[in-house]
């Protein structure tokens, strides 16, 4: 078997289409050293800012401030998608108790909750379905068939439509009836989605084509794709809806939403990954995984500030609703670094579980919930004192979290 | 310092093709493979002198590469992306058959978890011993064995791959 397998693997591997430029590697190493030793902030290439309209859930998403809608009386519920168990664990945030898991499907890895807090939509990547969960009873409704490989969801502010990003299409779902509308083609390697605050346009990144496709939501028609940088990943839109920011491999491309034109890319250096904007829309925080830093960007000028050193392999960020603290999850260290946004200083890291990769903050801003993918737990952090409370057991490989309003 | 830089540049120049190929088996996508190798090289370069003194530098770089890939996958199961465009192929010979193999292998690998995929590539393609794989992934030898067994069992379930292997066995 091994010998045969080896032959097959060798037969399957082709020639790399491009040679890696060692000179580029050399330059990037030099740039990284400059960052690490603090000697050349000017050499640090940087980013712009954004706020994901997708509510919660994705590893890179900040906790989006909710609309002023009353949630269920028993207080907010956090929903944690357990990719390895095929379940979602509801957590009562008032008491920090994990409720019995709800079965969803294979490889759930994205959740979004309607603005009224009544329904959580869970994308099951391997099943090709989205399962709505009634939050009042924590019961799963019948799965809605999507395209293959759904991996991201965003819901319009009016709560009427959930947009599900599949591997090359987007499936709109009418939330009133939980019926799927015809898929909209966006190209291979579709990855992330953000919807403008007015709900009129959804922007979807396509990694393979290096494009962002705007979708007009009233008619669900795709407009001409906008060319961005290589491997576009996260996308988010400013609170005023004027600009969408796309995090590519090494750059960030701002897109003017009025005309759907790309502005010149902002160089960031390798592996910018997560991004979050303060609720007042003044500063974007960009997490640079490879250099273990977070860079604050003044949105008005798109100018980067001094990089803030955090832990090893930071990969998720969330900002409190009052905008005073940004929490950065350091995957390899198993810690969370709070950053005071007023001074952009990092506070002492808070120890959480193994390989944390997602974070969400309650609407009242009092508690941050950190999803420890490696431990299968969720650690609440009291934001007033930055102390970790006892972790709660959830399912296997939890990867995403969203909290009801 | 200069010697260190030259040593690394030479290594990177000489091994980048092989590294990219292993990275493709991990990611199933050339653009991602390129990014992965680049990231691994960038992470390894500053430690090059120490790595050289410690023994096998290539093993170290592969270790960085595999662990970077696992971290990327943990983030969002990027590897889950089902087969997309048919990959480019410029090789001579039976192009159709070659593409069939490529797509079948890539899809089959895509059904594995990141760890299973990493173990398979390290053990079968890079031909490391179980002990070396355990060292690279920082886990027990028993874990390597069980992960490998699960990976192989899963690949056997793939009808296209099974057919190709039968064909080769004949």
pLDDT at B23 over 90: yes
Which residues on chain A are in Cβ contact (under 8 Å) with B155?
5
- Residue the block writes with tokens 């590893």: A59
A388 contacts: CB under 8 Å, gap ≥ 6: A350, A351, A352, A379, A380, A381
> Shortest Cα distance from B109 to chain A (angstroms)?
10
Which of A163, A118, A117, A116 has the alpha carbon at shortest distance from A144?
A163
Q: Is B74 on the interface with A (CB under 8 A)?
A: yes
CB A272 within 8 A of CB A230: no
Task: Share the mean pLDDT of chain A.
Answer: 84
Residue A83 CA to residue A373 CA, distance in Å, equals: 9
| Model pLDDT for residues A89-143, shown as the tens digit of each residue | 999 999 999 999 999 998 898 999 999 999 999 999 888 999 999 999 999 999 9
- What does the pLDDT average to over A348-367? 93
pLDDT at A381 over 90: yes
Hey, are the CB atoms on B165 and A19 less than 8 Å from each other? Answer: no
- Determine the distance from the C-alpha atom of residue A86 to the mean position of all C-alpha atoms in its chain, rounded to a whole number: 20
**What is the phi-psi region of residue A271: left when phi exceeds 0, alpha when psi lies from -120 to 50, beta otherwise?**
left
Residue A73 CB burial class (10 angstroms; 0-12, 13-18, ≥19): exposed
pTM exceeds cut of 0.80: no
Residue A88 CA to residue A73 CA, distance in Å, equals: 21
- What does the pLDDT average to over A138-163? 94
**Which of B 131-170 lie inside 8 A of A, CB atoms?**
152, 155, 161, 164-165, 168-169
- Determine the distance from the C-alpha atom of residue A194 to the mean position of all C-alpha atoms in its chain, rounded to a whole number: 10
pLDDT at res. B118: 92
> Shortest Cα distance from B165 to chain A (angstroms)?
6
Domain ranges of chain A: 20-403
Model confidence band, residue B4 (pLDDT cutoffs 50, 70, 90)? low
**Which of B 49-68 lie inside 8 A of A, CB atoms?**
none
Q: What's the domain range around B35?
A: 2-169
- Residue the block writes with tokens 């740039």: A31
CB A402 within 8 A of CB A362: no
Which of A400, A356, A382 has the alpha carbon at shortest distance from A89?
A400
Residue A281 CA to residue A65 CA, distance in Å, equals: 12
Give the DSSP H or E segment for A318: strand A314-319
Which residues on chain A are in Cβ contact (under 8 Å) with B104?
12
Hey, are the CB atoms on B91 and A15 less than 8 Å from each other? Answer: yes
Task: Share the mean pLDDT of chain B.
Answer: 77
B6 contacts: CB under 8 Å, gap ≥ 6: none
pLDDT at res. B70: 82
Give percent of chain A with pLDDT exceeding 70: 86
pLDDT at A393 over 60: yes
**Which of B 25-44 lie inside 8 A of A, CB atoms?**
25, 29-35, 37-39, 41-43
Question: Which one of B45, B77, B164 has the shortest CB-CB distance to A125?
Answer: B77
Q: Is A14 on the interface with B (CB under 8 A)?
A: yes
Model confidence band, residue B141 (pLDDT cutoffs 50, 70, 90)? confident
**What is the phi-psi region of residue A105: left when phi exceeds 0, alpha when psi lies from -120 to 50, beta otherwise?**
left
- What does the pLDDT average to over B133-158? 85
Instruction: Name the pairing type of β-strands A235-237 and A226-227.
Output: unpaired
Q: Is A94 on the interface with B (CB under 8 A)?
A: no
Which of B145, B148, B138 has the alpha carbon at shortest distance from B63?
B138
| Model pLDDT for residues A363-373, shown as the tens digit of each residue | 999 999 999 98
Count of domains for chain B: 1
Model confidence band, residue A271 (pLDDT cutoffs 50, 70, 90)? low
Cα–Cα distance list, A388 to A82, A219, A335, A336 (Å): 21, 46, 10, 10
Q: Is B1 on the interface with A (CB under 8 A)?
A: no
Compute the residue count for chain A: 405
Question: Which one of B74, B105, B165 has the shortest CB-CB distance to A355?
Answer: B74
Residue A50 CA to residue A244 CA, distance in Å, equals: 7
Which residues on chain A are in Cβ contact (under 8 Å) with B74?
331, 355, 357, 373, 399
> Shortest Cα distance from A74 to chain B (angstroms)?
31
Question: Which one of A9, A231, A332 has the shortest CB-CB distance to B35?
Answer: A231
CB A360 within 8 A of CB A347: no
Q: Residue B131 sits in a domain of what CATH number? A: 1.20.140.160
Residue A10 CB burial class (10 angstroms; 0-12, 13-18, ≥19): middle
Of A95 and A45, the one with more pLDDT: A95
Hey, are the CB atoms on A14 and B91 less than 8 Å from each other? Answer: yes
Question: Which one of A14, A25, A167 has the shortest CB-CB distance to B38?
Answer: A25
Residue A205 CA to residue A54 CA, distance in Å, equals: 13
Which residues on chain A are in Cβ contact (under 8 Å) with B121?
9
For residue B47, the 8-state DSSP code is: G
Residue B45 CA to residue A121 CA, distance in Å, equals: 44
Helix residue spans in A147-247 (DSSP H): none
Which of A101, A156, A148, A158 has the alpha carbon at shortest distance from A123?
A148
Among chain A residues, the shortest Cα distance to B9 is held by A22
Q: Is A11 on the interface with B (CB under 8 A)?
A: yes
pLDDT at A62 over 80: no
pLDDT at A157 over 60: yes
Hey, are the CB atoms on B84 and A332 less than 8 Å from each other? Answer: no
**Which of A 129-188 lie inside 8 A of B, CB atoms?**
148-149, 151, 167-168, 188
ipTM score for this prediction? 0.81
| Model pLDDT for residues A167-217, shown as the tens digit of each residue | 889 999 999 999 999 999 998 888 889 999 999 999 999 877 889 999 999
The CATH architecture of the domain made up of A20-403 is 7 Propeller (2.130)
Q: Is A111 on the interface with B (CB under 8 A)?
A: no
The neighbouring-strand residues paired with A283 are: A298
Hey, are the CB atoms on A273 and B75 less than 8 Å from each other? Answer: yes
pLDDT at res. A48: 24
Q: Is B93 on the interface with A (CB under 8 A)?
A: no
């Amino acid at each position: 078997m091994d010998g045969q397998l080896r032959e097959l693997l060798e037969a399957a591997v082709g020639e790399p289409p491009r040679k890696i430029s060692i000179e580029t590697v050399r330059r990037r190493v030099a740039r990284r050293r400059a960052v690490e030793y603090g000697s050349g902030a000017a050499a640090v290439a940087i980013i712009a800012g954004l706020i994901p309209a997708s509510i919660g859930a994705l590893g890179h998403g900040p906790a989006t401030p909710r609309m002023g809608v009353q949630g269920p009386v028993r207080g907010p519920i956090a929903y944690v998608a357990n990719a390895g168990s095929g379940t979602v664990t509801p957590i009562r945030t008032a008491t920090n108790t994990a409720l019995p898991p709800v079965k969803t499907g294979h490889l759930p890895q994205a959740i979004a909750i309607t603005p009224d807090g009544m329904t959580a939509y869970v994308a099951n990547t391997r099943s090709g379905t989205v399962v709505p969960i009634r939050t009042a009873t924590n019961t799963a409704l019948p799965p809605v068939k999507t395209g293959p490989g759904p991996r991201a969801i965003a819901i319009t502010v009016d709560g009427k439509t959930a947009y599900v990003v599949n591997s090359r299409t987007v499936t709109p779902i009418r939330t009133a009836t939980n019926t799927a509308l015809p898929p909209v083609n966006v190209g291979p390697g579709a990855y992330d989605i953000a919807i403008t605050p007015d709900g009129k346009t959804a922007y979807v990144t396509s990694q393979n084509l290096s494009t962002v496709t705007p979708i007009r939501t009233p008619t669900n028609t795709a407009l001409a794709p906008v060319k961005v940088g290589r491997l576009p990943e996260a996308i988010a839109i400013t609170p005023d809806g004027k600009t969408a920011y796309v995090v590519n491999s090494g750059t960030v491309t701002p897109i003017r939403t009025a005309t759907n034109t790309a502005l010149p890319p902002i160089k960031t250096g390798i592996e910018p990954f997560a991004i979050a904007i303060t609720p007042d829309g003044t500063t974007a925080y960009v997490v640079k995984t490879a250099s273990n830093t977070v860079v604050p960007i003044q949105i008005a000028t798109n100018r980067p500030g001094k990089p803030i050193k955090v832990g090893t392999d930071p990969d998720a960020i969330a900002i409190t609703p009052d905008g005073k603290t940004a929490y950065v999850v350091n995957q390899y260290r198993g810690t969370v670094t709070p950053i005071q946004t007023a001074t952009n200083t990092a506070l002492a890291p808070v120890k959480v579980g193994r390989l944390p990769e997602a974070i969400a903050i309650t609407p009242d801003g009092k508690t941050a919930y950190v999803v420890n993918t490696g431990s299968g737990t969720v650690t609440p952090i009291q934001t007033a004192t930055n102390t970790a409370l006892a972790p709660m057991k959830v399912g296997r490989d939890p990867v995403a979290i969203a909290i009801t309003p | 310092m200069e010697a260190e830089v030259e040593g690394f540049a030479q290594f990177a120049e000489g091994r980048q093709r092989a590294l990219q190929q292993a990275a493709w088996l991990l990611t199933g996508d050339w653009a991602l493979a390129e990014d992965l190798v680049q990231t691994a090289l960038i992470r390894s370069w500053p430690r090059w002198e120490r790595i050289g003194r410690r023994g096998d530098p290539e093993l170290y770089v592969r270790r960085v590469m595999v662990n970077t890939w696992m971290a990327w996958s943990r983030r969002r199961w990027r590897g889950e992306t089902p087969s997309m465009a048919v990959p480019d192929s410029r090789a001579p010979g039976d192009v159709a058959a070659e593409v069939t193999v490529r797509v079948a292998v890539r899809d089959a690998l895509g059904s594995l978890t990141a760890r299973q995929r990493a173990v398979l590539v390290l053990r079968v393609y890079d031909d490391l011993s179980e002990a070396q794989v355990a060292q690279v992934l920082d886990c027990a030898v028993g874990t390597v064995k069980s992960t490998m067994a699960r990976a192989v069992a899963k690949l056997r379930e793939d009808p296209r791959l099974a057919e190709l292997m039968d064909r080769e066995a004949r």
